[in-house]
């Protein structure tokens, strides 16, 4: 006989959970991490503004949000009697914003009720932020280079200006030598699958690199690397399908080394109306609920490419933290009741 888990008891197998807010906030580690995170944001803003980007404040609620999120549940809210969503990501508004500016970025909050099994991956939060970037007319290669330059700039800036924080966190900045000195590694999804299978890991060729597989690839690398060309069926409708190689997406992830895993996801975007509607169906979506977005797409939006860097994950990697929740002042671990 099986028993229903009481929702209040939360996940069973998390190694270490955040302490009460008063303890977490006064913990020297938290303070150092938040200061380091400030350095990340400052460096990101400086870099992007210096490259002609406009910072947008994007909506937190809307009638529809990014559906392309593996296994997680969206949060519904009652918006004057209409069912609205908290943003799981800002993707729809990123595309829309290109009607105003060619290059935009945003530090966007995201809420995803992740599956409970993610409580002990050390890298999932139900509430987090992304450094979101979108560029009209950019190709995958161009946006990928921008992502690499941005990551390198941030790491250079924080290692230069936050030595004290690294010191107090016990993080040796020598870990970033390869990142700062060499270009990022590169493998396609198919190559990553083959590599994992060679390592004895049963990775599906049709799906995302699973969390264990990602950790395995990450652990054996000394610098960040790209994984490109994910198969259709592993990502949301907005990742552009290759016109030359149907079934393959023009997208990428940046995977951090040392086992920290994915930092960033990006792609060229679908922007043509009929393709977007067909891709919505392929991802099981009901186009009817995307009314405002499809109307806009029908009238024409720029083709674009962009990415989002998970701010807390990036901070975790920089600070060398055990868990991503340590990179948040008010962490929400999936399934764990927290203020």
Partner 1 sequence: MNGRLTDASPHESPYDSTDEGPDDPGLRAEGPGLRAGYPGLRADAFPAEAVRDRARRGTAALFPPVEAYGRTLFGAARTPAHTAPGADLLDALRLVPPVFMPRRLEKLIDLAREPMHHDVDLTTVVGALNSPLPAYLSAFGSTQVASADLGTAASRQAGRLGLPMVIGENVVPVNGYGRLGTAAAGDTERSLLGRIRAYLDELPDGMGGVAVQQSTEDADAEVWNLVYSDPSARPLLESGRLAFELKVGQGAKPGLGGMTVLNRAAAARVAEQYAVDDVLGGEERVLRCSSPGTFTEEILRQQIRLMRNNFPRARVWVKLHPGRDVRDAAAVAWSAGADAVTVDGAEGGTGWAPLGFLDAVGLPLGECLRRIGRPNGSLLASGRMWEGTRAAKALALGATAVGLGRAALLAVEEDPERGLTRLVEALALELRLLISALGKYEASALAYEDVWSAGTGLPHQDPSLATPLGTQP
Q: Which residues bind partner 1 (CB under 8 A)?
A: 1-7, 9-10, 70-74, 76-78, 82-83, 113-117, 204, 206-208, 210, 231-234, 278, 281-286, 288-289, 334-335
Taking the complex as a whole, how short is the minimal distance between the CB of residue 149 and partner 1, in angstroms?
30
Those residues with Cβ within 8 angstroms of residue 233's Cβ, 6 or more apart along the chain or in another chain: 206, 207, 282
**8 Å CB contact between 305 and 142:** yes
Residues forming beta bridges with residue 186, ordered by sequence position: 226
Taking the complex as a whole, how short is the minimal distance between the CB of residue 33 and partner 1, in angstroms?
27
Name the E strands within the chain. Answer: 54-55, 61-62, 76-79, 82-86, 103-111, 127-136, 185-188, 225-228, 251-256, 261-268, 304-310
Which lies closer to partner 1 via its Cβ, residue 34 or residue 336? 336
Residue 293 to residue 237: CA distance in whole angstroms: 13
Which lies closer to partner 1 via its Cβ, residue 36 or residue 255? 255
Which lies closer to partner 1 via its Cβ, residue 117 or residue 157? 117
Residue 193 to residue 26: CA distance in whole angstroms: 43
Give burial (CB, 10 Å; 0-12/13-18/19+) of 246.
Answer: exposed
Taking the complex as a whole, how short is the minimal distance between the CB of residue 10 and partner 1, in angstroms?
8
Taking the complex as a whole, how short is the minimal distance between the CB of residue 314 and partner 1, in angstroms?
24
Which lies closer to partner 1 via its Cβ, residue 224 or residue 236? 236
Taking the complex as a whole, how short is the minimal distance between the CB of residue 109 and partner 1, in angstroms?
19
Which lies closer to partner 1 via its Cβ, residue 182 or residue 286? 286
What's the CA angle centered on 110, arms 106 and 115, to 5 degrees?
150
Residues forming beta bridges with residue 253, ordered by sequence position: 227, 265
Which lies closer to partner 1 via its Cβ, residue 30 or residue 88? 88
Taking the complex as a whole, how short is the minimal distance between the CB of residue 5 and partner 1, in angstroms?
4
Residue 103 to residue 62: CA distance in whole angstroms: 22
């Amino acid at each position: 006989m099986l028993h229903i888990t009481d929702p209040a008891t939360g996940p069973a197998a998390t190694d270490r959970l955040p302490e009460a807010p008063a303890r977490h906030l006064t913990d020297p580690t938290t303070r150092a991490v938040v200061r380091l995170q400030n350095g990340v944001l400052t460096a990101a803003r400086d870099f992007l503004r210096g490259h002609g980007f406009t910072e947008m404040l994007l909506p937190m609620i809307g009638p529809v949000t990014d559906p392309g999120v593996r296994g997680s549940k969206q949060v519904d809210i009652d918006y004057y009697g209409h069912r609205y969503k908290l943003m799981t990501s800002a993707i729809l508004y990123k595309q829309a914003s290109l009607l105003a500016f060619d290059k935009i970025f945003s530090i966007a909050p995201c809420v995803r009720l992740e599956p409970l099994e993610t409580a002990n991956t050390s890298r999932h939060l139900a509430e987090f932020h992304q450094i979101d970037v979108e560029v009209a007319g950019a190709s995958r290669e161009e946006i990928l280079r921008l992502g690499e330059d941005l990551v390198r700039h941030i790491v250079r800036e924080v290692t230069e200006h936050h030595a004290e924080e690294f010191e107090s966190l016990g993080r040796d900045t020598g870990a970033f030598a390869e990142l700062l000195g060499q270009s990022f590694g590169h493998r396609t999804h198919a190559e990553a699958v083959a590599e994992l299978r060679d390592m004895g890991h049963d990775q599906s060729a049709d799906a995302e690199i699973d969390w264990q597989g990602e950790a395995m690839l990450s652990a054996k690398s000394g610098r960040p690397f790209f994984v490109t060309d994910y198969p259709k069926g592993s990502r949301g409708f907005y990742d552009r399908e290759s016109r030359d190689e149907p079934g393959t997406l023009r997208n990428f992830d940046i995977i951090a080394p040392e086992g920290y895993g994915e930092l960033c996801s990006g792609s060229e975007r679908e922007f043509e109306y009929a393709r977007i509607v067909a891709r919505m169906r392929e991802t099981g979506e009901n186009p009817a609920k995307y009314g405002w977005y499809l109307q806009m797409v029908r009238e024409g939006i720029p083709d674009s490419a962009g990415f989002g860097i998970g701010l807390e994950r990036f901070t975790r990697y920089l600070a060398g933290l055990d868990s991503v929740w340590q990179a948040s002042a008010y962490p929400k671990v999936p399934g764990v009741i927290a203020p």
